[in-house]
């Protein structure tokens, strides 16, 4: 009997599979001729993603107060005015970001209520066939209708589902209408989720006897003993008369050669599902590993009375893993650390749209950093991501939920947990159970129930649901509730005793040691590590281990010297050392591999809409953190200079130059003159693993008596080499040598004025990722081809040929504009356009232009892949370029001391550089005056001025500057005002006057040197 929904309508979720191929062309509204589905072919399923009709019924709520779409499921409803879209589709990313009715968690993008409709006809040959529609994911609470009848609903966005259409479809050329209602109530996610049918859809047609959906499970139980045993369990569904079916299985090796086959006969009664189990033997199997991801393929044929009724294929691999509580993780008997990253499901400028080429581009970026593992934070992945990881050799921790019964947000999964969690976690396991890439199942992330009385019972149910399907992989969770050793009998203690292992989020070295000692039979790893924040190309106070934030509008960014930390986080270097030194620690998953929309810590203000945690930015451009982890996670010779800017410095300014390298000896050279050779010391962990590190106090762990993190072998140090270099223009080069031989170099060249735009489509791993999406990087360069750091002209991208701009991004976290358009300002000299093929013939020519610059051009090969109505198809070219601020500052220490407060006429408000950075688990609180800061006034047109008056507030914390300079803007840049005369105020809030000979300008700037913090309550030019 079908399950009854509360409404009394049957929920006809397909548990069995379906087969035979169909082809679907673009769809027209019901008022026009419906598209014909092709007759069955040799394959059992076909793409069902093109030609949908979509309407955003309400972007600000999940109801339709107008009633206009009450009849949207009705086949007679007129959808001719709706947009034509291809799915996967995300309506939220197509909307402009707004602070109204949204929040920073959603990246200031709206959610709402959307409707999709697809109209199609079936050929007569479909008579008697079993037909279903399968969705890989819909955000969220999908209600699916066929010809006006509700088939059922599926609340969770990140698990797939299917509905049986058999017996409900019109034949004989009569149109069928599939309608989908989707909602995204805000807040429903702690990060950007998108909205709509954001994963694939397919129509599946089979005979009555067929392999069930997710009905094949392949295991290799004896591979650790050197035997190539393949165990295949096949669920065969019979929706017709009783039969005896022969299940034939054939295994082909990575080269496509048949290496094993077999068959088993099973009686399948009418209306039943029977599991056929067969065993095969493969001689000398080639193992799947991170370095050599060799995949085998299983073909399954269901044969009745000599006729093949269904055929499926399943990729799998021979590999075995061990998570040892003392010795760590090993793959095929080879010890290795999990060098992992956390990634959310969004894809930068594409939003939540899943595209296989975009996924591969992202994962190849991670590979170039040395990544070998991925945690799907914090939801089940799209099946295409699993496929990418198994092809590239990346092991996976697949995760189910971000909450259980107790929610974190008003509209998150807690509302559906009790009814749906068992089915959803089973779907997660079924969808990925055959992949050799998947090595861990996670039942949740930082769930509040983990420290509540009902938590152990919930965990027991989820663990049992996983193990009922797959007992070959460990079951874990990621948690922030174990930063101390749990009390015996506490919920944390009872849950950990049920799990095979535990991922800890942001534990100190001391706390993870305590857990290992208390639970010697459990394995531990860091499911989230570091979370240091950074902005590509932004640098601040390298001598501080934790810097304050700059709250000045337009300058909300964080330092890339691995030194901006939230209260719960650690520097990348601390996290790397802590993991490196503990053999028992299986490894770590960096939070995060890439910046993502939403969670813009440490800022919570529009238009800061992107996180700062990534090793690469949201556009896929590497930050310095990428190279830090690369220096520790790869072995090939490399060297990297931080800062990635040898242009924007004052003459003589001392610049802290950090060098990351896999080589122990590095020489720094400025325009041919050596600045000295520095070396890492060669060290060995207590269990004999070699590593490179300096030997100096790092000052990065207040919990140790020395004040620095100390390795179990007694050593301390840093993972970078440091020079202090007085700036002068030229070429700064880091040369890494092994012996006397140069093996790697990195070079920075002082850039001249912007001259041209260049385009490239390569990523750090080399080559262009093939597929329907190509990521094209635009660089603003000078006349010699040097990227101009700090350059920010508005770039306009264009496409000729069978392609379009699917989205644009520049990696800047503070950005008010939409990503779904062809124009964007460059950020620190760079921007990225995602070019989508539309499936036509011929080359795709991409251009980028900006006023006053020579345009760039790049030709890409055309692709038979692609969609005409995918991401970016409905974009408008409307960049949002911030206007000049009337008052500005180099640095504002708090959200309520911004430059505009100097102009509001209220002496109780004002600008200040004062900040207090709270303590972290390893660092003390810090509040240290900055040596230099400036404030400025600007006007739309030139003003003639001869003085600036500033009212400085003075108290026990706030002081007068010890020196000041005044400059005014000219065509050549800022120049000192003539004949500056300063009259200092004598008391708090007294005016200090900076007088000078009259100048005509659009902006005047006061630069102050101070020994204490500054505050200006009023700033006036006259």
Cα–Cα dist 247/314, whole Å: 14
Distance of CA 1000 to the CA centre of its chain: 48
- Give bridge partners of residue 258 from the DSSP assignment: 252
Cα–Cα separations (whole angstroms), residue 354 to 196, 202, 346, 740: 12, 15, 8, 48
- Among residues 446, 599, 814, 965, which one is catalytic? 446
DSSP run (H or E) holding 579: helix 572-580
- Among 528, 541, 549, 1003, the active-site one is 528
Give the residue among 351, 347, 317 at the shortest CA–CA distance from 332: 317
Phi and psi of 461, rounded to 5°?
-65, -40
Structure tokens at 422: 């068992």
Give CA separation, 358 vs 352, 435, 620, in Å.
Answer: 11, 20, 10
Q: How many residues does the chain have?
A: 1022
Asked if residue 247 lies in contact with residue 234, where contact means CB atoms within 8 angstroms, the answer is yes
Residue 446 near residue 495 (C-beta atoms within 8 A): no
The torsion angle over the Cα atoms of residues 435, 441, 444 and 446, rounded to 10 degrees, is -110
- Say how far apart CA 558 and CA 550 lie, in whole Å: 7
Residue with tokens 């697809």: 118
**What is the spatial distance between Cα 658 and Cα 643, in angstroms, rounded to a whole number?**
7
Residues 81 and 132: beta-carbon distance below 8 Å: no
Q: What distances in angstroms separate CA 919 from CA 152, 513, 548, 602, one per listed residue?
A: 51, 22, 12, 14
Beta pairing, strands 731-738 & 741-749? antiparallel
Give catalytic status of residue 814 as yes or no. Answer: no
* CB distance 636 to 662 below 8 Å: yes
Looking at the DSSP bridge assignments, the partners of residue 991 are: 951
Backbone angles phi, psi at 25, to 5 degrees: -95, 180
CA distance 994 to 905: 20
Looking at 727-791, list the stretches that DSSP marks H as alpha helix, in order from N- to C-terminal side.
Answer: none
Q: What are phi and psi of 237, to 5 degrees?
A: -100, 140
- For 791, what's the count of Cα atoms within 13 Å in the CB-facing half-sphere? 28
Say how far apart CA 414 and CA 542 lie, in whole Å: 43
**Non-local CB neighbours of 740 within 8 Å, separated by 6+ positions:** none
**Measured distance CA(286)–CA(319) in Å, rounded:** 9
User: Which string of DSSP letters, residue by residue, matches 524-568?
Assistant: EEEEEEE-----TT----TT-SSPPP--STT-----SSS----TT
How far is residue 517 from each of residues 485, 520, 522, 528, measured CA to CA in Å?
9, 6, 10, 21
What are residue 303's phi and psi, to 5 degrees?
A: -120, 130
DSSP 405-463: SS-SSTTSGGGTHHHHHHHHHHHHHHHHTT-TTEEEEEEEES-GGGGSTTHHHHHHHHH
- Clarify whether 446 is annotated catalytic: yes
Closest Cα partner for 803 from 858, 849, 880, 879?
858
CA angle 583, 586, 587 (to 5 degrees): 100
- The Cβ of residue 552 has, within 10 Å, a number of other Cβ atoms equal to 23
Catalytic residues: 446, 528
């Amino acid at each position: 009997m079908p399950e009854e929904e509360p409404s009394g309508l049957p929920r006809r979720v397909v548990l069995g599979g379906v087969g035979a191929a169909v082809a679907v062309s673009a769809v027209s509204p019901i008022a026009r001729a419906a598209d014909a589905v092709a007759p069955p072919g040799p394959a059992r399923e076909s793409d069902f993603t093109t030609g949908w009709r979509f309407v955003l019924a309400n972007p600000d709520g999940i109801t339709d107060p107008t009633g206009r779409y009450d009849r949207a499921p009705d086949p007679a409803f007129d959808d001719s005015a709706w947009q034509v879209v291809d799915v996967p589709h995300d309506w939220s990313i197509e909307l402009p970001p707004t602070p109204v009715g949204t929040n920073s968690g959603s990246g200031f993008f709206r959610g709402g209520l959307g409707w999709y409709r697809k109209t199609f006809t079936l050929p007569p040959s479909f008579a008697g066939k079993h037909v279903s529609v399968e969705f890989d994911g819909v955000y969220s609470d999908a209600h699916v209708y066929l010809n006006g009848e509700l088939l059922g609903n599926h609340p969770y966005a990140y698990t797939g589902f299917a509905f049986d259409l058999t017996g409900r479809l019109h034949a004989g050329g009569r149109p069928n209408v599939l309608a989908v209602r989707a909602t995204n109530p805000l807040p429903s996610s702690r990060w950007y989720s998108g909205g709509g049918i954001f994963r694939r859809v397919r129509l599946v047609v089979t005979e009555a006897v067929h392999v069930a959906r997710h009905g094949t499970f392949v295991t290799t139980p004896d591979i650790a003993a050197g035997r190539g045993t393949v165990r295949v369990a096949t669920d065969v569904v019979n929706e017709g008369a009783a039969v005896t079916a022969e299940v034939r299985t054939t295994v082909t090796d990575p080269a496509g050669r048949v290496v094993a086959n077999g068959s088993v006969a099973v009686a399948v009664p009418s209306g039943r599902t029977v599991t056929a189990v067969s065993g095969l033997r493969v001689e000398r199997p080639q193992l799947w590993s991170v370095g050599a991801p060799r995949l085998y393929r299983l073909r399954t044929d269901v044969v009745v009375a000599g006729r093949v009724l269904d055929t499926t294929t399943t990729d799998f691999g021979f590999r075995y893993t061990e998570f040892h509580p003392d010795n760590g993780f090993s793959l095929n008997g080879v010890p290795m650390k999990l060098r992992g990253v956390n990634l959310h499901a969004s894809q930068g400028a594409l939003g939540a749209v899943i595209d296989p080429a975009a996924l591969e581009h992202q994962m190849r970026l991670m590979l170039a950093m040395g990544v070998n593992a991925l945690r799907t934070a914090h939801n089940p992945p799209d099946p295409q991501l699993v496929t990418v990881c198994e092809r590239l050799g990346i092991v996976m921790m697949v995760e189910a939920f971000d909450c259980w019964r107790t929610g974190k947000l008003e509209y998150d999964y807690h509302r559906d947990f009790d009814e749906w969690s068992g089915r959803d976690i089973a779907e997660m396991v079924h969808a990925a159970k055959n992949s050799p890439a998947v090595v861990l199942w996670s039942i949740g992330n930082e769930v509040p129930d983990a420290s509540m009385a009902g938590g152990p019972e919930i965990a027991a149910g989820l663990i049992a649901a996983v193990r009922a399907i797959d007992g070959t992989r460990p079951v874990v969770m990621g948690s922030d509730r174990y930063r101390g050793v749990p009390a015996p009998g506490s919920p944390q203690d009872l849950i950990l005793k049920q799990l095979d292992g535990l991922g800890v989020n942001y534990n100190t070295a001391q706390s993870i040691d305590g857990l290992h000692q208390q639970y010697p039979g459990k394995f531990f790893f860091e499911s989230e590590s570091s979370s240091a924040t950074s902005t590509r190309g932004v640098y601040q106070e390298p001598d501080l281990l934790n810097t304050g934030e700059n709250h000045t509008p337009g300058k909300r960014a964080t330092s890339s010297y691995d030194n901006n930390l939230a209260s719960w986080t650690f520097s990348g270097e601390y996290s790397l050392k802590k993991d490196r030194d503990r053999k028992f620690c299986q490894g770590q998953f960096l939070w995060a591999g890439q910046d993502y929309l939403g969670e813009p810590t440490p800022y919570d203000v529009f238009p800061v809409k992107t996180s700062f945690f990534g090793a690469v930015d949201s556009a896929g451009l590497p930050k310095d953190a990428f190279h830090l982890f690369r220096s520790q996670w790869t072995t090939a010779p490399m060297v990297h200079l931080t800062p990635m800017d040898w242009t924007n410095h004052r003459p003589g300014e001392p610049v802290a130059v950090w060098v990351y390298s896999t080589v122990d000896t590095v020489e720094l050279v400025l325009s041919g003159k050596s600045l000295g050779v520095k070396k890492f010391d060669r060290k060995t962990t207590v269990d004999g693993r070699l590593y490179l590190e300096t030997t100096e106090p790092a000052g990065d762990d207040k919990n140790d008596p020395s004040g620095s993190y100390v390795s179990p072998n007694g050593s301390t140090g840093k993972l970078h080499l440091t020079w202090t270099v007085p700036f002068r223009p030229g070429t700064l080069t880091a040369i890494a040598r092994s012996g006397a031989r140069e093996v790697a170099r990195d070079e920075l060249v002082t850039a001249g004025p912007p001259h041209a735009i260049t385009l490239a489509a390569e990523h750090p791993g080399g080559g262009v990722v093939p597929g329907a999406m190509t990521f094209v990087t635009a660089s603003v360069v000078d006349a010699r081809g040097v990227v101009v750091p700090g350059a920010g002209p508005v770039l306009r991208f264009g496409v000729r040929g069978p392609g379009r701009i699917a989205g644009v991004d520049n990696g800047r976290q503070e950005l008010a504009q939409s990503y779904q358009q062809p124009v964007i300002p460059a950020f620190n000299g760079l921007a990225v356009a995602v070019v989508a093929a539309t499936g036509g013939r011929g080359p795709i020519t991409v251009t980028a232009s900006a006023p006053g610059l020579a345009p760039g051009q790049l030709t890409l090969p055309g692709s038979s892949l692609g969609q005409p109505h995918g991401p970016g198809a409905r974009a408008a070219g409307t960049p949002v370029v911030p206007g000049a601020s009337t008052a500005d500052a180099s640095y504002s220490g708090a959200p309520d001391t911004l430059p505009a407060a100097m102009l509001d006429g209220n002496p109780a408000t004002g600008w200040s550089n004062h900040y207090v950075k709270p303590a972290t688990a390893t660092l003390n609180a810090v509040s240290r005056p900055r040596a230099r800061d400036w404030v400025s006034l600007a006007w739309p047109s030139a003003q003639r001025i001869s003085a600036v008056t500033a009212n400085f507030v003075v108290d026990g914390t706030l002081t007068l500057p010890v020196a000041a300079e005044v400059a005014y803007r000219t065509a050549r840049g800022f120049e000192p005002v003539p004949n500056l005369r300063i009259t200092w105020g004598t008391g708090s809030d007294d005016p200090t006057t900076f007088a000078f000979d009259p100048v005509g300008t659009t902006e005047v700037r006061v630069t102050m040197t101070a020994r204490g913090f500054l505050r200006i309550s009023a700033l006036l030019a006259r």
